[in-house]
Amino acid sequence: MPVNILFIGDIVGAPGRQAVSRELHRLIDRYRIDLVIANGENAAGGFGITEEKARELFSLGIDVLTSGNHVWDKKESYSYIRREERLVRPANYPPETIGRGSTIVRTAGGISIGILNLEGRVFMNSLDCPFRTADREIVRLKEQANIVFVDFHAEATSEKVALGWYLDGKVSAVIGTHTHVQTADERILPGGTAYMTDAGMTGSFDSVIGVKKELAVERFTTQMPVRFEVAKKDIRLNGAVLGIDEMSGSALSVERISLTCS
Amino acid sequence: MPVNILFIGDIVGAPGRQAVSRELHRLIDRYRIDLVIANGENAAGGFGITEEKARELFSLGIDVLTSGNHVWDKKESYSYIRREERLVRPANYPPETIGRGSTIVRTAGGISIGILNLEGRVFMNSLDCPFRTADREIVRLKEQANIVFVDFHAEATSEKVALGWYLDGKVSAVIGTHTHVQTADERILPGGTAYMTDAGMTGSFDSVIGVKKELAVERFTTQMPVRFEVAKKDIRLNGAVLGIDEMSGSALSVERISLTCS
Amino acid sequence: MPVNILFIGDIVGAPGRQAVSRELHRLIDRYRIDLVIANGENAAGGFGITEEKARELFSLGIDVLTSGNHVWDKKESYSYIRREERLVRPANYPPETIGRGSTIVRTAGGISIGILNLEGRVFMNSLDCPFRTADREIVRLKEQANIVFVDFHAEATSEKVALGWYLDGKVSAVIGTHTHVQTADERILPGGTAYMTDAGMTGSFDSVIGVKKELAVERFTTQMPVRFEVAKKDIRLNGAVLGIDEMSGSALSVERISLTCS
Amino acid sequence: MPVNILFIGDIVGAPGRQAVSRELHRLIDRYRIDLVIANGENAAGGFGITEEKARELFSLGIDVLTSGNHVWDKKESYSYIRREERLVRPANYPPETIGRGSTIVRTAGGISIGILNLEGRVFMNSLDCPFRTADREIVRLKEQANIVFVDFHAEATSEKVALGWYLDGKVSAVIGTHTHVQTADERILPGGTAYMTDAGMTGSFDSVIGVKKELAVERFTTQMPVRFEVAKKDIRLNGAVLGIDEMSGSALSVERISLTCS
Ligand SMILES: [Fe+2]
Ligand SMILES: [Fe+2]
Ligand SMILES: [Fe+2]
Ligand SMILES: [Fe+2]
Ligand SMILES: [Fe+2]
Ligand SMILES: [Fe+2]
Ligand SMILES: [Fe+2]
Ligand SMILES: [Fe+2]
């Protein structure tokens, strides 16, 4: 029987958390989900995460939170990021960075799963090489887990697809985040790794990637600073469901999820 | 009866042209296509376009070629770009730029359709504002055509989604190109404009967005210059089919297309 | 007798305003200055400008303030930017942008001087072409003034030097700002235009371009967001003195200024 | 008696090599130079370096060549870069990169001098952290040399100034390259490290940072690809002369050099 993982794309603000609240249990049931992973970098008001919002998401049934470049937006979350083992930030931040880049959790059925978070470098922060960081972290995680899931938080499709191929056969899945737009390229690469360029966004779709659309248009047409606010209507949950072979760690299936909330 | 437009995402090199050759007629038949538009910026060896390759694509049944930042890669194509009315380059290049940013064609059924090409500015060239250029060009095109199709060649999802909302109700469709990865967000916006962040790529999918995957990985892991070559295997055609109301110019349907070539 | 213009590089926070307060009158006397222009985009706490800080700078003897990408940092300054004729923002922002991109002032001796502000596009905002904007604005300014001074607020040396050559013979001076590091390349180009890639910074030099140095190092070594604060020690005034022929508008001399404050 | 080092800024093409040929011996005599270091990343036709051009520069009296992002432009130079101990490339390229990031040479007087090359990450390649790489390399070099010279090849003034402060007291000098425009901020920081944001360029100044000026302007105004050619007139040599205490490794003096060639 495969291990079923649900991955939820970037949860944006209160509408994103509502989507999780309304849909998660139904999804867990329908797909017999063993583990729920979600990207939470925008969970708190669209920018960053706080202990309160993370706890809320865990209480709703999420097992592990990944993140990305926005994880540092709330200074008050730093001590929480340091101690919360179920929350990861990209592993290729500098060596001394607070928090952890990967973690291992056990499903209710007792299966260990490694979760690795990486951030791209093209058009983003100046970080350590995600390819080499992946190599190093995967060796470590594989000592304790047959299944390894990678959230690659990156902008450029070229960097994301390249990492997918680079890790094919080494991990169970490489799923991208950050662009907030779901891609239609989910597939299982020849070596057995599930790949998808972007899982998409969980939040308001009456928006520009989560932000009130008038404000985003204003930013582009005026080139002046605009304070972004989270949009509220047309709430959807984006993500992917992965079926993974417990022994080999190979992906058996990958399915794109896009739910319009009731 | 709706006017049916097939849009084909960035055609990359010989494998991309082969995909068009093998699949286009079947698609035209199946969807009763009235007009075929394709992005040809990578048609010649992955970089740029030439008169020869453009003529090959027109002879296969493509009616209009759009393009993007790579359209200038082959210097020998400039005189062709200047005179070929069925080939457009982004309209927001500087005023004196050779070629045209939009064109109007007639379907076999005698319906006029305006095609507008724009390029994003985030992480790309320094061009005129695509929002304002769109406003100006659309007024002109609408004098002669009820239906206007926009290919927005851009990198950042935020800029693409923002332009979609900005033009909602003013054009029939805003379809993105450039990332070479098809997105799963096709929809008809409330004002009647079909929108999709990226149509995807037509070419080899055993690749990093069209390029041999070993070379792309080498570029990222060494940060040294690497001469890219077009990949050849696993050929697919990506795009979208749009159904548009002839009188109002509103989109009636948008369907994502991803064909694995026989 | 030449018209003598003092241009002061980006004034950063209270230390920058102090430098002006301490040194300006001495400079005006020593160089028989007819007009003082200063870049004020960082005058208010290092980010943006306010009516209060602008009035302070005008009262100290500055005649015209130019600016750049940071001019929009303080929302409360917008109505002031709209109405203050002695304050300019880059002219190549979109058409509807509040404020003005150029202005004309008269020296005590009755000589009209046009001041034009432009912003670069390489590694900066997505603006209209500074070369074409310059052409258009200069024609307008030349109808009322023989002397035209250009503050080109830009990052890349290539773009700055290119604009210098492009405007050679058309304006009296092209002086760069934005990098906060003074360059040693002041010269008069063959057509009579004084050119210098960057005028430098007026503020604390015990800093990283005005910011407390520990904070800047932290930003680079952690890649996490850091709230910048203005540094205070080792205050200097950077800029340039230009001698310009009243009739022809040609530059007769350009001298780099770097004063360590008493 | 201080050890005198002459550092020459980016040598661009044949005009740059001519400048060295005409001026180097005079400079060595006048300043009693013990060691000559030069940045050679643009020595071959403006892009990269070849064995032939490197040998030419060594034969003219240069002891060590540093480089930067353009060092990889000529594929035929790779085997030479691998074996030539007097040629360094930025040390923060990935671990397996060919060539060396630092070297140690001896002056005629028998003094060992370490030379370290680093590349910035802001607006440049995705490399390892230059701050941490510096720490690690300096420890190694200091085991064999009291004097360590750093060429920091970087774009952003903030990153350059920050590294200067970060290495103050740890090395003899941090001199920047890459922008091809000499800065006027040479100084000795409180810890004894000579610092200068950019040494400038050695080549044609009737140009845009070495390139024919018409071509550079064309690139900016058309946003189309332009093949750059090295400019030829108004040849100058830019750089700096450093006086360094042999025992402590502290800088005693730093002097900016800008020579117009006879
Ligand atoms: Fe996000
Ligand atoms: Fe993100
Ligand atoms: Fe493309
Ligand atoms: Fe493109
Ligand atoms: Fe500034
Ligand atoms: Fe600025
Ligand atoms: Fe260079
Ligand atoms: Fe360089």
Q: For every residue of A46-106, which 3-state class applies, written as one string?
A: CCCCCHHHHHHHHHCCCCEEECCHHHHCCHHHHHHHHHCCCEECCCCCCCCCCCECEEEEE
Tokens of C132: 């074409």
The binding site of D for Fe cation comprises: 10, 41-42, 69, 153, 178, 180
Q: Which residues of D touch B119 (CB under 8 A)?
A: none
Cross-chain Cβ contact D123/C155 below 8 Å: yes
Pairing of strands C211-212, C207-208: antiparallel
Closest Cα to residue B128, out of C132, C100, C166? C132
pLDDT in tens, chain D (262 residues): 899 999 999 999 999 999 999 999 999 999 999 999 999 999 999 999 999 999 999 999 999 999 999 999 999 999 999 999 999 999 999 999 999 999 999 999 999 999 999 999 999 999 999 999 999 999 999 999 999 999 999 999 999 999 999 999 999 999 999 999 999 999 999 999 999 999 999 999 999 999 999 999 999 999 999 999 999 999 999 999 999 999 999 999 999 999 999 7
CA of D11 relative to ligand 7 center, distance in Å: 7
For an interface test with D, give the residue of C166, C179, C186, C219 to mutate (most D CBs within 10 A).
C179
Q: Which ligand is nearest to the CA of A238?
A: 1
Tokens of D94: 């990935």
pLDDT at C1: 82
C130-142 and C157-167 helices cross at what angle (nearest 10)?
30
10 Å CB burial of residue B109 (0-12, 13-18, 19+) is exposed
Closest Cα to residue C154, out of C127, C180, C177? C177
What mean pLDDT is reported for chain C?
Answer: 98
For an interface test with C, give the residue of B118, B123, B126 to mutate (most C CBs within 10 A).
B126
Which residue in the list B11, B34, B66, B70 is annotated as catalytic? Answer: B70
CB-based contact A239:A202 (threshold 8 Å): yes
Active site residues of C: 70
- Residue holding tokens 């960057």? C198
DSSP-assigned letters across all residues of C119-156: E--TTS---S-HHHHHHHHHHHHHTT-SEEEEEEE-S-
Number of B/C CB contacts below 8 angstroms equals 18
- Residue holding tokens 């002061």? C8
Closest Cα to residue C170, out of C121, C131, C218, C214? C131
Within 10 angstroms of residue C262's Cβ, the number of other Cβ atoms is 7
Q: Which ligand is nearest to the CA of D123?
A: 8
Q: Which chains border B (3 or more CB–CB pairs < 8 Å)?
A: A, C, D
Q: Which residues of A touch D122 (CB under 8 A)?
A: 126
pLDDT, tens only, C111-135: 999 999 999 999 999 999 999 999 9
pLDDT in tens, chain C (262 residues): 899 999 999 999 999 999 999 999 999 999 999 999 999 999 999 999 999 999 999 999 999 999 999 999 999 999 999 999 999 999 999 999 999 999 999 999 999 999 999 999 999 999 999 999 999 999 999 999 999 999 999 999 999 999 999 999 999 999 999 999 999 999 999 999 999 999 999 999 999 999 999 999 999 999 999 999 999 999 999 999 999 999 999 999 999 999 999 7
Tokens of A74: 């709330």
CA of D176 relative to ligand 2 center, distance in Å: 32
CB-based contact C94:A222 (threshold 8 Å): yes
Q: What 8-state DSSP symbol labels residue D153?
A: E
Q: Give the integer Cα–Cα distance in Å for B150 and D261.
A: 55
Which three-class secondary structure state does DSSP give residue B59?
A: helix
CA trace torsion C138, C118, C154, C17 (10° rounding): 120
Pairing of strands D235-244, D211-212: unpaired
Q: Which residues of C touch A219 (CB under 8 A)?
A: none
Q: Is the dihedral of CA A22, A28, A34, A37 positive or negative?
A: negative
Which three-class secondary structure state does DSSP give residue C214?
A: helix
The set of residues, in sequence order, having a beta carbon less than 8 Å from that of A39 and lying 6+ positions away, is A7, A8, A9, A10, A11, A65, A66, A67, A68, A151, A153, A177, A199
ipTM over 0.90: yes
Q: Which ligand is nearest to the CA of A11?
A: 1
Closest Cα to residue C181, out of B102, D158, B176? D158
Closest residue to D126, CB basis, from A94, A95, A121: A121
H/E element, B57:
helix B51-59
Q: Give the integer Cα–Cα distance in Å for B150 and B61.
A: 20
pLDDT at D1: 82
CA of D79 relative to ligand 7 center, distance in Å: 21
Distance of CA D20 to the CA centre of its chain: 14
Within 10 angstroms of residue C42's Cβ, the number of other Cβ atoms is 31
Q: Give the integer Cα–Cα distance in Å for C49 and C56.
A: 11
Confirm or deny that C10 is annotated as ligand binding. Answer: yes
Smallest Cα distance from D75 to chain B, Å: 9
10 Å CB burial of residue A79 (0-12, 13-18, 19+) is exposed
Q: Which residues of A touch C96 (CB under 8 A)?
A: 222
pLDDT in tens, chain B (262 residues): 899 999 999 999 999 999 999 999 999 999 999 999 999 999 999 999 999 999 999 999 999 999 999 999 999 999 999 999 999 999 999 999 999 999 999 999 999 999 999 999 999 999 999 999 999 999 999 999 999 999 999 999 999 999 999 999 999 999 999 999 999 999 999 999 999 999 999 999 999 999 999 999 999 999 999 999 999 999 999 999 999 999 999 999 999 999 999 7
Closest Cα to residue A35, out of A90, A94, A123, A115? A115
Q: How far apart are the first and last CA of chain A?
A: 31
pLDDT at A53: 98
Closest residue to B121, CB basis, from C95, C122, C126: C126
Q: Angle C129-C88-C50 (CA atoms, 0-180°, nearest 5)?
A: 125
* Mean pLDDT of the region A79-86: 98
Q: Give the integer Cα–Cα distance in Å for B55 and A96.
A: 57
Interface residues of C toward D, Cβ cutoff 8 Å, are 123, 129, 131-132, 155-159, 161-163, 165-166, 179-185, 197-198, 200, 207-209, 211, 213, 216-217, 219-221, 256, 258
The set of residues, in sequence order, having a beta carbon less than 8 Å from that of B139 and lying 6+ positions away, is none
Instruction: Name the residue type at position D160.
Output: K
